Every structure is written in C-alpha cells, then in structure tokens.
Amino acid sequence: MGCIVYEMIMGQPPFRKRRERLKREEIDRRVCEDAEVYNQRFGEIVRDFTSSPNSYHRLFTTKGDKT
C-alpha cells in the first residue's frame, strides 16, 4: 500500500527513475536494499505511513500508541 500512496503523490513508482526500464530482479533488489527518496510533497505522517514495515501499525495505530 505504501508504494501506491508514494506513486499517487509523486506521479511515479518508488525505486525507479522516470521512464527507467528495469528487470523485476533489480526492482526487488532496490526495494530490499535502497532507501526511499522523499521530497517536500511528503509530510511526516505520509512518510511514516509509507515506510513502516508493519502493515498493522501502518494502518491501525498512531505514533503515540504502544501496541
């Protein structure tokens, strides 16, 4: 879901440059090893949402929650 939100805001998918053609293996490697690049369009809440590895925490908790 984070990738979809990223693409909606940026107008391009994460981990690829505009019009860049990549094999699936390279995209998988970038997802696992490279850091996301955010610009000023992303607020702190959106950054936290798209970068959280735990989907439950991403969807159902806020920063102050301890669950």
| 4-53: pLDDT as tens digits | 877 888 887 777 777 788 888 998 888 888 877 777 777 777 777 667 66
pLDDT at 59: 59
Place of tokens 């699936």: 24
Distance CA 48, CA 24 (A): 26
Q: Is 2 within 8 Å of 51 (Cβ atoms)? A: yes
Question: When comparing pLDDT for 56 and 66, which is higher?
Answer: 56
